[in-house]
Amino acid sequence: MSHSDLPRLVVMVSGNGSNLQAILDACACGELPARVVAVVSNKADAYGLERARQAGVPAIVLEKFKDQDRRTYDAQLAETVTAYRPDWVVLAGWMRILTSAFLDQFPNRVLNLHPALPGTFPGTHAIERAYEAWQKGEIEKTGVMVHLVPDEGVDVGPVLGTRKIIFRPDESLEKFEDRIHKIEHDLLVETLKSVLTTKDTTSYPKGKVHEGKP
């Protein structure tokens, strides 16, 4: 397959972009037969943009104005992303809830990474919240997942891949976070590899939530 025939990924980030880096690296070494055609961020200072530039990938900032309505912003975002003709849109640390004004433009083509198991710790600070729950003796394991984003639900949707992670006695939050991030880098690349060969994701029932529990 020539470089220009490879599946096209638009990666959306709001921060550090270590997961974006995992994708860029996997594409560069041929492990992931795809190419990142653009990186879009809602934050001008997201380090992920710098990672994109260093990889020679267009780095686009689209910030929401304070008084701008969410749907108007999302429609603009969809237009920006559409211009890069993505086969897949990957939310890798994208920390805004997307409305149907965006999602309807890419049905069954938007993937999200979340550092928790299906049905647990949706939203921000999932890793810290899971760690706290473990310290209180409420849980023994957590995990990471990649799922399709069918609607405005927060970190829910048809699950494409998960990894369970067991807490280790005496592990600091910092060490635990590092371990989670390494595992999510791996899971994201692996899941992308498998979806790239799936031409038809409509077989994933729209909106159905996998009921997995940690």
| Contact with ligand GAR (CB under 6 A) among 16, 80, 105, 201 | 16
Task: Sketch the per residue contact string, 128 through 147, with ligand GAR: x for CB under 6 A, - otherwise.
Answer: --------------------
Picking from 15, 16, 20, the residue whose alpha carbon sits closest to that of residue 36 is 20
**Cβ neighbours for 67, distance < 8 A, ≥ 6 positions apart:** none
Taking the complex as a whole, the smallest distance from the CB of residue 206 to ligand GAR amounts, in Å, to 20
DSSP code for 205: P
Q: Are 176 and 127 in contact (CB under 8 A)?
A: yes
At 3, list the tokens.
Answer: 């470089």
Q: Which residue is nearest to ligand GAR (CB)?
A: 93
Q: What is d(CA 16, CA 166) in angstroms, rounded to the nearest whole number?
A: 25
The bridge status of strand 35-41 relative to strand 8-13 is: parallel
Q: Are 108 and 201 in contact (CB under 8 A)?
A: yes
Taking the complex as a whole, the smallest distance from the CB of residue 144 to ligand GAR amounts, in Å, to 6
| Contact with ligand GAR (CB under 6 A) among 9, 24, 102, 155 | 155
Residue 110, interface with ligand GAR (CB under 6 A)? no
Stretch that binds ligand GAR, among 2-10, 15-23, 80-88, 190-198 (CB under 6 A): 15-23
| Contact with ligand GAR (CB under 6 A) among 6, 7, 8, 15 | 15
At 135, list the tokens.
Answer: 């310290």
Question: Active-site residue 3, yes or no?
Answer: no
Residues that bind ligand GAR (rule: CB under 6 A) add up to a total of 15
Residue 90, interface with ligand GAR (CB under 6 A)? no
